[in-house]
Amino acid sequence: MSNKHEILKIENIRKIYQAKNDELEALKSINLKVNEGEFVSIIGPSGCGKSTLLSIIAGLEEKTSGKIYIDNEEIVGVSRKIGYMLQKDSLLEWRSIYQNIMIGLEIQGIKNKENEKYVKDLLKKYNIYDFRNKYPSQLSGGMRQRVALIRTLAIRPQILLLDEAFSALDYQTRMLVIKDVYRILKNENKTVLMVTHDISEAISMSDRVVVLSNRPSVIKKIYDINFDMESRDPMNCRENPKFSKYYENLWKELDINA
Partner 1 sequence: MRDNKISVERKKYLKKVTRNKIIIFITQILLLVTFIAAWEICANANIIDSFITSKPSRILDTFMNLSQNGLLEHIGVTCFETIIGFLSGTILGIIVAIILWWSNFLSKVAEPFLVVLNSLPKVALGPVIIIWVGAGMPAIIVMALSISLIVTILEILNGFLNTDKEKIKMAKTFGANKFQILTKIVIPANISTFINSLKVNIGLSLVGVISGEFLVSKAGLGYLIVYGGQVFKLDLVMASVIILGIVAAVMYKSVVLLEKLITKTHIIN
Ligand X SMILES: Nc1ncnc2c1ncn2[C@@H]1O[C@H](COP(=O)(O)OP(=O)(O)OP(=O)(O)O)[C@@H](O)[C@H]1O
Positions touching partner 1 (CB under 8 A) are 58-60, 77-78, 80, 83-84, 86, 88, 90, 92-94, 103-104, 106-108, 135, 137-138, 152, 155
Question: Please, what is the minimum distance in Å from the beta carbon of residue 197 to ligand X?
Answer: 6
Q: Please identify which residue in 48, 56, 58, 68 interacts with ligand X, judged by CB under 6 A.
A: 48
Choose the contact partner of 17 out of ligand X, partner 1, Mg ion, none; CB within 5 to 8 A by kind: ligand X
Buried b (16+ CB within 10 A) or exposed e, 9-26: bbeebbbeeeeeeeeeeb
Give the separation between CA 33 and CA 31, rounded to whole angstroms.
7
Residue 100 vs 206, nearer CB to ligand X: 206
Question: Please, what is the minimum distance in Å from the beta carbon of residue 147 to ligand X?
Answer: 23
Choose the contact partner of 65 out of partner 1, Mg ion, ligand X, none; CB within 5 to 8 A by kind: none
Q: Does residue 214 belong to the site contacting ligand X (CB under 6 A)?
A: no
Binding segment for ligand X among 48-56, 92-100, 111-119, 245-253 (CB under 6 A)?
A: 48-56
Give the separation between CA 72 and CA 193, rounded to whole angstroms.
18
Give the separation between CA 191 and CA 18, rounded to whole angstroms.
32
Residue 35 vs 51, nearer CB to ligand X: 51
Strand partners, 219: 212
Q: Does residue 63 belong to the site contacting ligand X (CB under 6 A)?
A: no
Give the separation between CA 243 and CA 223, rounded to whole angstroms.
12
Q: Does residue 229 belong to the site contacting ligand X (CB under 6 A)?
A: no
Ramachandran class of 146: left when φ > 0, alpha when ψ lies in -120 to 50, beta otherwise: alpha
- 37 touches 84 (CB < 8 A): no
Residue 35 vs 96, nearer CB to partner 1: 96
Concatenating the DSSP letter of every residue in 38-79 gives -EEEEE-STTSSHHHHHHHHHTSS--SEEEEEETTEE--S--
Q: Which residues bind ligand X (CB under 6 A)?
A: 17, 19, 24, 26, 46-52, 197, 215
